[in-house]
C-alpha cells in the first residue's frame, strides 16, 4: 500500500502531461514515425529559416531560429501568466 501512495503524484503528472502536451499530433506511436503534418511543419520551418537556400542552416540562420523560438516561448508564457 505504501508504494501506491508514492505513485499517485506520478500518475497525476503523466495524466497532466498527456492532456497539456499530447504527442498524437506529432508522433504516431504504432508506426513509430512522425505524422505527415508534423513532417510538413518541420520542413516549412526549415525553408523559412534557410534564407540563403543552400539546404543547410549556417550558424547565423541557426542562431536566428533559436532567438525566435526562445522569444516565442517566453512571450507565450508571459501572456498566460498575466
Q: Regarding predicted confidence, which is higher, 54 or 15?
A: 54
Kindly report the pTM of this predicted structure.
0.61
Give residue 74's pLDDT band: very low, low, confident or very high (50, 70, 90): confident
Cell output for 27? 508522433
Each residue of 22-70: pLDDT tens digit?
Answer: 778 889 989 999 999 999 999 999 999 999 999 999 999 999 999 888 8
Q: Output DSSP code: residue 1.
A: -
Q: Which residues pair with 28 in a beta bridge?
A: 33
pLDDT value at residue 50: 93
Cell output for 63? 542562431
DSSP track, 21-82:
S-STTTEETTTTEE-HHHHHHHHHHHHHH-TT-SSS--HHHHHHHHHHHHHHHHHHHHHHH-
Amino acid at each position: 500500500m505504501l508504494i501506491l501512495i508514492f505513485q499517485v503524484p506520478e500518475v497525476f503528472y503523466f495524466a497532466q502531461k498527456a492532456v497539456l502536451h499530447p504527442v498524437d499530433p506529432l508522433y504516431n506511436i504504432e508506426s513509430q514515425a512522425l505524422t505527415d503534418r508534423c513532417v510538413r511543419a518541420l520542413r516549412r520551418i526549415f525553408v523559412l529559416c534557410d534564407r540563403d537556400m543552400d539546404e543547410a542552416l549556417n550558424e547565423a540562420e541557426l542562431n536566428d531560429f533559436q532567438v525566435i523560438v526562445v522569444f516565442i516561448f517566453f512571450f507565450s508564457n508571459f501572456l498566460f501568466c498575466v
